[in-house]
Chain A
Amino acid sequence: MSLIRSAEQQQFASSLHDLLAAADAPGAVRRWAGGDHSPGLALWRKLAGVGVTALAVPPGSGGLGAGLADVVVACEELGHHAVPGPVAESAAAVPELITALADDRLSARWLPGLAAGDLIATVALPPWLPYATDADAAGLILLAEPGAVRLATAGTRHRSVDPARSLSQARGGEVLARGPAVAGAVARAREAGTVACAAQLLGAGRALLEASVLHARQRSQFGRPIGSFQAVKHQLADVAIGLEFARPLLGEAAVTLTPRDVSAAKVACTGAAQRAARAALQVHGAIGYTQEHDLHLWLTKVRALAGAWGSQAGHRARVMAAIADGGLAWN
């Protein structure tokens, strides 16, 4: 078990942060929300250039075979910068799914493109994930069910509370794989996508806390920075505590990928991000309740991701099913 990030992982996270901070990610998110994917796709190409899209793809298919712990480091930073597009799907769930199906033909057909960043993929995994996220930006849409994985096309498109996110019905077509082995591959994709989504939430929560701290130091009322008021300090301290104690659960889930640990991580990261969002809006006041300020890009993404990849109630039920069934060992 890797309890703390390695020096390489820290360096990777900080280089991703620098890359995204320099690339005007909020501008790309706004353009994506307006229907123009080009700056967002340019962002994805930059991320592909430093290996993000290759992490979950095996070396034999043009990837880095890096393991989910590294995927989580990347997805957290993508969430930190509210990167648009099907992040958990394309960077984690779909490459994990295709790899786990262990069909050379399927691997050769899609994995090299995913690794290189030429192909962005999305997936619907009902009932866990009933819609395909950002199908209009994806070159590959899959419908993954326990009995079969199919190629899909986008049906009715729904808008999300996150303006830079859309949800489409996945209409199943060509059967890519079926049979008893498929269920295991779909389960692995489900756990991997859930961990990646939890990582995005943790990153978004961190961004919301940072924005709140910055605002509280700069904004003055009654002749002093509002961050000097105890009511503000203590709210933000609680946000920091939530994020601090969600992180080790995420790290553990990325290593074990058991339903118990994955669900614990998703519950904690979602809760921490939602607390960060509520506090951020309150600390910003009315300006935070506008689309003029960038804060809303993170506020709405947190709400969208909170229910994606399994509900809080569903994840708590999975935790209880695991631990009440003799899974109590503290390992």
Chain B
Amino acid sequence: MSTDTDGFRAEVRDWLRAHLPAGPLPSVDTANGFARHREWERELAAARLSVVSWPPRYGGRGASLLEWLVFEEEYYAAAAPVRVGQNGLFLLAPTLMRYGTAEQRDRLLPPMARADEIWAQAWSEPEAGSDLAAVRAGATRTKGGWLLSGTKTWSSRAAFADKAFGLFRTGQDKHRGLTYLLFGLRGDGVTVRPIRQLGGETGFAEIFLDGAFVPDADVVGAPGDGWRIAMSTAGDERGLSLRSPGRFSAAAARLVELWRRAGGPDADSLRDRVADAWIGAQAYRLHTLAGAARLAAGGTLGAEASLGKVFWSELDIMLHETALDLLGPRAELRGGDWLDGYLFSLAGPIYAGTNEIQRTVIAERLLGLPR
């Protein structure tokens, strides 16, 4: 990468080396682990490293996209803790930057950067998954705001988070009857039921809403404009912001090391898969850098984000499966990073728009195949 980011890279690397917790933190999807991860975020924020690409007034440094990618590479290479605030940082914040009011940005972004307020997402419902515009949970008009009712589900981090953002029905029209709203998870009229995931922890939750109040100040964009805004958020989730290449570069480096130490016939027979995993991580990294260069030159990313989403989610599974196959009979033992990473990776092709939805987007919008 370019030399003008070298100084920043060194600063991030040195800071992480000096401040990383001694051992791994307890899982972010436990009450204690969530609290510990919140403390870690506050430490990052104090060093102005929690949101490097944000403007300084909100807690960032105004770093370039390239510098943000450098931060991510160093963060993952150091095996630093999971970003507990990532739903807010990488999904809600870009939406507020683009569609929020100045008042909303001033009020919401600084506490998000400091992890004083951690956000969960509330998109899916029991009857609205891939067909997200079928959401039924409604917001009805009341004095000074809206009253929410209905059920949201698979809400990542909602078991322990403070607030949530989501899409609610405010009109009959399938797409233009949706509004983007922010609401507290711990107030009146809100019941959160944690759901145990495949790995046994409560990484997501069901949210029952029965008259929860949302003031007008917490509507993002105009009422009825929620679908357009949510789709832009979904684009961020699929694209650059949620899955920076640092995660896969670091995992591929660890996989190569695991393979090198393993030796023997298993390692011999898995060599080509390790090579393909490294090649895939390198391809994703170079592709992201090229995308960043294109954005810096004034270009845009649209449906192209769907290509990346399918690629990284499948790469992630392949990387972890290969590592587990190298571990052989030890792979099933709980407590290992590779197993945890594998279980996490399995969700990749499902969230942020299933890979089936993405392939359809690619075929129709990029290739021009008929609907």
Give the B-binding residues of A (Cβ under 8 A): 3-4, 209, 213, 216-217, 224-225, 227-228, 230, 232-234, 236-238, 240-241, 244-249, 251-252, 264, 267-268, 313, 316-317, 319-320, 323-324, 328, 330-331
Taking a contact as CB atoms under 8 Å apart, the answer to whether A320 and B289 are in contact is no
Instruction: Please encode chain B, from 360 to 371, with 1 for each CB lying within 8 Å of some chain A CB and 0 for all others.
Output: 101110111111
Taking a contact as CB atoms under 8 Å apart, the answer to whether B286 and A251 are in contact is yes
A325 to chain B: closest residue by CB:
B260
- Given A247-B287, A330-B249, A330-B285; 19 other pairs, CB 8 A cutoff: A3-B290, A4-B290, A213-B368, A217-B370, A227-B369, A233-B360, A233-B369, A237-B310, A237-B359, A241-B310, A241-B311, A244-B311, A249-B286, A251-B290, A317-B275, A319-B278, A324-B259, A328-B256, A330-B282
Q: Provide the residues of chain A in CB contact with B371, threshold 8 Å.
A: 228
Taking a contact as CB atoms under 8 Å apart, the answer to whether B73 and A330 are in contact is yes
How distant is the Cα of A31 from the Cα of B271 in the complex, in angstroms? 43
Instruction: Give which listed residue, A217, A232, A264, contacts B368 with CB less than 8 A.
Output: A217
Q: Provide the residues of chain B in CB contact with A331, threshold 8 Å.
A: 1
Taking a contact as CB atoms under 8 Å apart, the answer to whether B256 and A3 are in contact is no
Interface residues of B in 325-371 (CB under 8 A from A): 356, 358-360, 362-364, 366-371
Taking a contact as CB atoms under 8 Å apart, the answer to whether B367 and A316 are in contact is no
Taking a contact as CB atoms under 8 Å apart, the answer to whether B253 and A328 are in contact is yes
Taking a contact as CB atoms under 8 Å apart, the answer to whether A240 and B249 are in contact is no
Taking a contact as CB atoms under 8 Å apart, the answer to whether B370 and A234 are in contact is no
Chain B nearest CB: distance from A211 CB in Å?
Answer: 12
Q: Provide the residues of chain A in CB contact with B356, threshold 8 Å.
A: 230, 234
Taking a contact as CB atoms under 8 Å apart, the answer to whether A228 and B289 are in contact is no
Contact residues of B: prevailing secondary structure: helix
Instruction: Give which listed residue, B287, B359, B362, contacts A248 with CB less than 8 A.
Output: B287
Instruction: Give which listed residue, A216, A245, A316, contacts B284 with CB less than 8 A.
Output: A245
Chain A nearest CB: distance from B101 CB in Å?
Answer: 35
How distant is the Cα of A228 from the Cα of B364 in the complex, in angstroms? 9
Residue of A236, A323, A331 ringed by the most chain B CB atoms within 10 A: A323
Chain A nearest CB: distance from B95 CB in Å?
Answer: 26
Q: Provide the residues of chain B in CB contact with A217, threshold 8 Å.
A: 368-370
How distant is the Cα of A320 from the Cα of B260 in the complex, in angstroms? 10
A243 to chain B: closest residue by CB:
B307
Taking a contact as CB atoms under 8 Å apart, the answer to whether B369 and A267 are in contact is no
Contact residues of A: prevailing secondary structure: helix
Q: Provide the residues of chain B in CB contact with A251, threshold 8 Å.
A: 286, 290
Chain B nearest CB: distance from A208 CB in Å?
Answer: 13
Contacts A/B (CB < 8 Å), 24 sampled: A3-B286, A213-B367, A217-B368, A230-B356, A233-B359, A233-B369, A234-B359, A240-B307, A244-B304, A244-B307, A245-B284, A248-B287, A248-B290, A251-B286, A264-B278, A264-B283, A267-B276, A268-B279, A316-B272, A316-B275, A316-B276, A319-B278, A319-B279, A323-B278
Instruction: Please encode chain B, from 265 to 296, with 1 for each CB lying within 8 Å of some chain A CB and 0 for all others.
Output: 00000011011101110111111011001100
Taking a contact as CB atoms under 8 Å apart, the answer to whether B283 and A249 are in contact is yes
Chain A nearest CB: distance from B153 CB in Å?
Answer: 26
Q: Provide the residues of chain A in CB contact with B294, threshold 8 Å.
A: 4
